[in-house]
Chains A and B, each alone.
Chain A
């Protein structure tokens, strides 16, 4: 789970290199260790193609929301309302599509815009009214949960039109017939993505060498790229052995790359980190801090709406229970992924890894038959442990 951008902005060398990157790779190593552990504990069920596809489908909405949440946390804020907003938008989608029969593109657009407006209203209170985001979004959490129950009238709406269901249960249309059991198009796309990533890494390294910038040791670089390629190819193989690339995985992957690029490479992305790092200094450097905070909330609202649609499509109904507790998973994913509760620190890749770490644990523990009670205990302890390790690493 390493985007090409991540490598491009972290030129370090020598011992400093290991120390500085321990945080990023540490998280990745934890994920790998957990995957291996559950692979053995579940007797090989975890990495069965069907199960891998399931893990992706079950966690897509967490990843999508974690992208927005990461930026909110980086600015030093929090959004507790995302679960309610996602649920509310799911209900709204049911109302628009099922009850009122509005056509699909218009209904989806409406849902995303409403999500943006909800984010905007909360962002307005946080950024311009200077009310702590914890309070504003706690209020939002109650308000939108209430609205959702109000529009659904405490009963589920469904089923959704078949095309909408494809958002979560559809797969990439295969161009080549796949009688041999493997979905060739999906597998080839996976290989292309892996190759692009490696190529991008090589290009940025070559550029650094050209400009005489310190960069990571060659042996490490090669090993890293071999592993990146192998890992992506392996996942692509598993996914294409089941039913090919799920649509929602494509959406997720595009968003991950886009947000990775945005946070790492663009001026606006950099300014968001500056606001979280020292808001007053950022303001005195000409950064429009209030406006940035406002827009991160708008963005969060849109992503929460998208997640709400994904969930509704997956359940094939809008239920009053949908979205309950999502905010906690999303926030946990960001913190497990190394974001700082004080703002200014956190990476998109970290949040994605954090989300999958939680997802793999949920899935693995369910296969093992561990009850929902102890699953929660274990997840809570993992969150605490991950942040402790992070804080410890920083103090050294």
Chain B
């Protein structure tokens, strides 16, 4: 049992990973990594994509079984040799992946007790399951009925159900991989509070995250990985840890600032949306976007801020070829003339490009290589009379690979095997190849590391300098403040405020939203 007199720094380690090395063929993913987690702490694991965080967690949870790596794992003071994930789960090591593993058409209770339902003679004991689910939901702060279907819950609540599921297994070490990546500010805050409460109850957590502000808020210690090696562990109780300090260790280079500087050269209005209105595709009475208008000038970067569900993606997708919603009304003008954007093909022709927020599901064909993904939206550009010129196609891909600094062996590498940042660069390449005048980027840096983010921001700047109109939709306010000339605030399908880039602060953006909420 824990001795309450001991401070966090003196608590015994619950987990020690010593000298872990793991290779995939010729690629060394981890080399001699040491990682120690103390009982009852929140330990953050940070590093760029590809630094080895996920690999390390897979070694820990037994996804990569004992024998497939070098080094040793001590859990609760004993050496452990996990053969598979069941072995580690039995000891209370529970990992919650970034992609949630819930079954949408089953209830909360069924999901939580999917593998270990309380039963009598092999028949599921529904009453016990119901009561235990209720108990667990209370622990994570959910008031939903246990029979609610997962599909009717938002992402934030689904995340909490995952955690409740972990709690059902007598968790001793909870591992969360990017738990807040798809959550809005409110849900993220609630989740972080929950982690703190777990800490009070003696549950140890490992949290993998790219959101440094969240890490510095909750973590007791932070371990930084870089290129498969441990760079060091920072203790948050020995003086405040500075975000820039973490970034420096992660990327091993000084980022002058996290956002590259740009001197805007703003021209005429080239993109106008007037009285745009969109209804929900299934619930036809629900108006998702309410008569909004916006104008963007050449060379201008305009941000759209707002809470999750404000209607930003719905607005962008309905403008881009009516790929969302029904009963869409309003006009789109490009270079002052009304443009036909009634399907994706026409929208592309009109000079519009939309980079989706979900690059894996909606942006890329993961099984195809970089070359085929880059040319996909503009096959006409690499072919003559309907026949693709493979050499021209390959040269186009190589050009973008160099220009966007996509890190890969060559352009024939499958996009599914690239890191998040490089995948995003492939998606951007695809859209740049269509030669758009207006780019709408929806969450362009979601789930990618600091170094790649900086590169994406640089690309946004280049595009603006080339006279394009750029619209950036983002849930990360610092990102909008750092990159945009102007930020429009959306709330419940309406623009409720507009802030010039140099005056923008998180406070006045939030104020615009809250003012509306309070009304």
Contact = CB atoms under 8 A, between A and B. Distances in A.
Residue of A16, A265, A284, A288 with highest tally of chain B CB at under 10 A: A284
A270 B366 contact: no
- For chain B, the bracket of interface size reads 35 or more
Contacts of A277: 365-368
Interface of A: 8-9, 11-12, 16, 20, 207-208, 211, 213-214, 265-268, 270-271, 273-274, 277-278, 280-288, 344-345
Contacts of B383: 266-267
B348 interface: yes
A266 B390 CA distance: 10
Contacts of A214: 410
Contact of B363 (A12, A266, A270, A281): A281
Contact of A267 (B362, B368, B386): B386
Interface stretch (B45-53, B328-336, B371-379, B446-454): B371-379
A280 B324 CA distance: 12
Nearest to A20: B412
B354 interface: yes
B391 A213 contact: yes
Given A281-B364, A345-B367, A286 B391 contact: no
Contacts of A11: 390, 394, 412
A278 B366 contact: yes
B468 interface: no
B252 to A, nearest CB: 30
B365 A267 contact: no
A62 B156 CA distance: 52
12 contacts: A9-B390, A213-B394, A265-B387, A265-B390, A267-B379, A267-B380, A267-B387, A270-B379, A283-B344, A285-B430, A286-B347, A288-B345
Interface string B337-351: 000000111011000
B386 A282 contact: no
Shortest beta-carbon contacts, A-B, top 3: A277-B365, A285-B377, A286-B345
Contact of A207 (B354, B361, B387, B391): B391
A286 B348 contact: yes
Interface in B395-418: 395, 409-410, 412
Nearest to B363: A281
Given A12-B412, A267-B386, A268-B386, A282 B365 contact: yes
A285 B388 contact: no
B382 to A, nearest CB: 9
Contact of B364 (A208, A278, A345): A278
B365 A281 contact: yes
Nearest to B354: A284
A274 B391 contact: no
A274 B380 contact: no
B323 interface: yes
B372 A284 contact: no
Contacts of A282: 365, 376
Contact of B361 (A16, A273, A280): A280
Interface in B127-175: none
Contact of B387 (A211, A266, A344): A266
A267 B344 contact: no
B344 A285 contact: yes
B356 interface: yes
A214 B394 CA distance: 11
Given A8-B390, A9-B390, A284 B344 contact: yes
Contacts of A344: 365, 367-368
Contacts of B409: 16
Contact of A284 (B323, B367, B379, B388): B323
A278 B365 contact: yes
Given A270-B388, A286-B348, 8 more contacts: A11-B390, A265-B387, A265-B390, A267-B388, A270-B372, A274-B365, A278-B364, A280-B361
Contacts of B320: 284
A369 B401 CA distance: 59
A271 to B, nearest CB: 7
A278 B354 CA distance: 17
